[in-house]
Amino acid sequence: MRDQHIKPGYLFSTRYTNYIFILLFLLYMFDYIDRMIVTSMFVFMERDWGITTAQQGMLVSAVYWSIVILTFPVSIIIDRWSRRKTIGIMAIVWSLATGLCALTGNFTQLLMARILIGVGEAGYAPGGTAMIAGLYPHEKRSQMIGIWNASIPLGTAIGVALGGVIASSLGWRHAFGLVALPGLIVAVLFYMIKDYKTVGIDLPKSTREEARSNRKAIINEFIQKPSFLFTTFGMAPVMFVITGMMTWLPKYLLEMGGLNEKQAGFRASLVFLLAIVGAPLGGILTDRWRKYRFRARLLFPTVTTTLSAVILFTALYFGKGVSQYLILLVFGLTVAAFASAAVAVTQDVVQAGLRAVSYSIAVLVQNLLGSSVAPVVIGILIHRIGIEKALLTLPFVLLVGAFLFYLGSRHYEADFNKVAKIQLEGES
């Protein structure tokens, strides 16, 4: 029997639900601190080890390679076993791997440690997304996912800023060790929370003899939802741009703006820190617009991604000095606004028992075609044509994402109405 003190649409009390959410937020923040702190250390590693820009890009891409390989199988474990246990174990692994980076003695060892960070982080985004989709009412889904995604720019900004400061003061290896411990503590706390009970998958046939038909039914759950496919592939070019800018903006400001390492790292971190406003604001505006226009969860990313392309092109092509940096700050605000709505779509159009798998497919695509290749591709372009021209290609990549979001919006309502609605139950 449902506790009368629990609000409709919630599994637990509001206070306990928010406690779980805070832990999820902190884990995502440390996820990105550990992932991106290396970017502000490139100049120090170049001095110590003489690594190239392509190798520097590989240190960022390495995390995404692991995610590409493991996110789908890990998400199956999450959906079928336990979000709480799987996420807790993953967070412990990536925190220990970050600490291991401090002990490396050459590029190859550091690359292997960075790959291990990705092993830990592989299923976190799908697992966390599935938990939030189950913890909060459907009407608040974009808003809460938006607030959760604000931890990405926060973690990125902290990682970029801390990396430069600690590396300048204590040496770059110390930065890895100092950020590993807090994440480990939060991981242990998360392992002890309550979760919602694992739900079955609603398939038309369930006997062992019909296993092949069941697998086909699961595949059809995704490939027969055009809004899911367009959203998934629309996220990839946007993540290509975001990861590319996160990786190379400190170097761009260092070379083109005449700044030192600390100044470049700090200013770059502020650009992505503004996404703390953009991500949750995008979720709030999307949920409000959706009351009047059901397709808003994909129309909103269409608008904001197009706007981000125009802003980034203006900053890189026309902007100089202070004016350029101010425009880049606006870009940091708008480019993350797509995320809350787009991620919510991956939860809206599939049944509850496949939510982690659903977002893992999106993570797989956006990392395979976006985040994992952006640092290396742009690093190669920087070597061949210079950093200014290399970054100037990115606004056109954003327009591809905006177009795909628009195509997905035309199918969203029909796909949403195909999904059976069930009542989740919380663990006792």
* 7 in a structural domain: no
* 218 in a structural domain: no
Lowest mean pLDDT among 13-22, 135-144, 221-230, 297-306: 135-144
* 422 in a structural domain: no
The answer on pLDDT for 424 being more than 60 is: no
Predicted TM-score (pTM) of this structure: 0.75
Summarize pLDDT for 122-167 with one digit per residue, the tens: 888 888 888 888 888 877 888 888 888 888 878 877 887 777 778 7
The answer on pLDDT for 388 being more than 80 is: yes
**Which runs of consecutive H residues, i.e. helices, occur in 202-295?**
211-223, 226-256, 261-273, 275-290
Please answer whether residues 401 and 234 qualify as being in contact, where contact means their C-beta atoms are separated by less than 8 angstroms. Answer: yes
Q: What is the DSSP letter of 41?
A: G
Number of Cβ atoms within 10 Å of the Cβ of 112: 14
Please answer whether residues 79 and 198 qualify as being in contact, where contact means their C-beta atoms are separated by less than 8 angstroms. Answer: yes
* 306 in a structural domain: yes
The first and second tokens of residue 265, run together, are 């790292």
* 258 in a structural domain: yes
Rounded-to-integer distance, Cα 1 and Cα 297, Å: 34
Summarize pLDDT for 318-357 with one digit per residue, the tens: 877 888 899 999 999 899 899 888 988 988 888 777 777 8
The first and second tokens of residue 421, run together, are 């609605």
* 427 in a structural domain: no
As for how many domains the chain has, the answer is 1
Summarize pLDDT for 176-211 with one digit per residue, the tens: 888 888 888 998 898 888 776 666 565 555 444 454
48 by Cβ neighbours in 10 Å (0-12 / 13-18 / 19+) ranks as middle
* 173 in a structural domain: yes
Number of Cβ atoms within 10 Å of the Cβ of 260: 12
Q: What CATH number is given to the structural domain containing 160?
A: 1.20.1250.20
Rounded-to-integer distance, Cα 150 and Cα 137, Å: 20
Domain that holds residue 315: 14-194+223-417
Summarize pLDDT for 39-96 with one digit per residue, the tens: 778 878 888 888 887 788 888 888 888 888 888 888 888 877 778 888 888 899 989 9
* 8 in a structural domain: no
